[in-house]
């Protein structure tokens, strides 16, 4: 049986790590991102070497029309959706103290990180519910949030707020979709080596060396990909709504 996954932001960083993990398990992929397909050619070629089918769709999560037309195109291409991975997200373009956060920065981050994933999930949930009426094949939703969902960073408050909101989105959809046997999960990555963290690499190299992360290393996109693959396989069938920490123990309480 073929399986189709949508991965937002699946062309680089954590999203690419997720895509690579799923293609190893035979998933068809719909990769959604804001870049032109030609700019992702190398990545897509590599994924297509391992996957039955990889489809790319340019999509801006912050725009309703882009979400709707993108989803319609994906359905036309594959006919069904078994997995939605809400991974795409942005950090503030400039880090400012919460006393100086601008309304423009707040709105940008919230539209992409929270509003977009919520309404994309709403649309996909409706599609999944309709398909569930005549199919018992696996379906699930995974939200990629962050340790910033409950760890405050006053220099990027809008990011923390968006991820905390996404955590509640997970709970809401987990409750709503449970009757349809569609589990919803949240993965909270910690300090992951990616393009998003490139600007603060020196800072976190130092903090990790000083013991910030008990497992004493950066996380990788592959670490997150393995967690998503586990959930996509259905390895936690009685755990909808749960949070999977992929943070090397960073958020453990310690004396």
Q: What is the pLDDT of residues 41-71, one digit of tens each?
A: 999 999 999 877 999 999 999 999 999 999 9
For the chain, the C-alpha Rg in angstroms (whole number) is 18
Q: Where are the alpha helices (DSSP H) in 39-192?
A: 41-48, 64-78, 103-110, 116-132, 157-177
Alpha carbons 234 and 214: distance in angstroms, whole number = 29
Q: What separation in angstroms does the CA of 144 have from each of 10, 118, 155, 224, 245?
A: 12, 12, 21, 9, 10
Closest to 18 measured CA to CA, from 228, 245, 254: 228
With 0.75 as the threshold, say if the pTM is over it: yes
Weakest-pLDDT range from 29-33, 58-62, 198-202, 226-230: 198-202
Give the span between the Cα atoms of 101 and 82, in whole angstroms: 38
Q: What is the pLDDT of residue 194?
A: 86
> 84: closest CA among 111, 115, 118, 52?
118
């Amino acid at each position: 049986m073929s399986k189709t996954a949508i991965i937002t932001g699946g062309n680089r960083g954590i999203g690419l790590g997720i895509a690579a993990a799923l293609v190893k398990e035979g998933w068809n992929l719909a990769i959604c991102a804001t870049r032109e397909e030609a700019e992702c050619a190398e990545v897509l070629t590599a994924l297509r070497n391992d996957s039955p089918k990889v489809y790319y769709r340019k999509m801006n999560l912050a725009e309703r029309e882009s979400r709707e037309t993108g989803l319609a195109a994906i359905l036309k291409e594959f006919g069904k959706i078994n997995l939605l991975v809400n991974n795409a997200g942005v950090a503030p373009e400039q880090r400012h103290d919460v006393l100086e956060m601008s309304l423009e920065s707040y709105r940008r981050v919230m539209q992409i990180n929270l509003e977009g994933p919520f309404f994309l999930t709403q649309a996909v949930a409706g599609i999944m519910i309709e398909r569930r009426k005549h199919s018992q094949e696996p379906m699930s939703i995974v939200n990629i949030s962050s340790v910033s969902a409950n760890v405050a960073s006053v220099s990027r408050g809008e990011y923390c707020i968006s991820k905390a909101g996404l955590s509640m989105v997970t709970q809401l959809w987990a409750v709503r979709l449970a009757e349809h046997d569609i589990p919803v999960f949240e993965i909270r990555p910690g300090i992951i080596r990616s393009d998003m963290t490139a600007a603060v690499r020196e800072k976190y190299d130092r903090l990790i060396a000083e013991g910030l992360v008990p497992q004493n290393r950066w996380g990788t996109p592959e670490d997150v990909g393995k967690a998503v693959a586990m959930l996509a396989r259905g390895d936690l069938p009685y755990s909808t709504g749960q949070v999977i920490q992929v943070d090397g123990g960073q958020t453990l309480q310690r004396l």
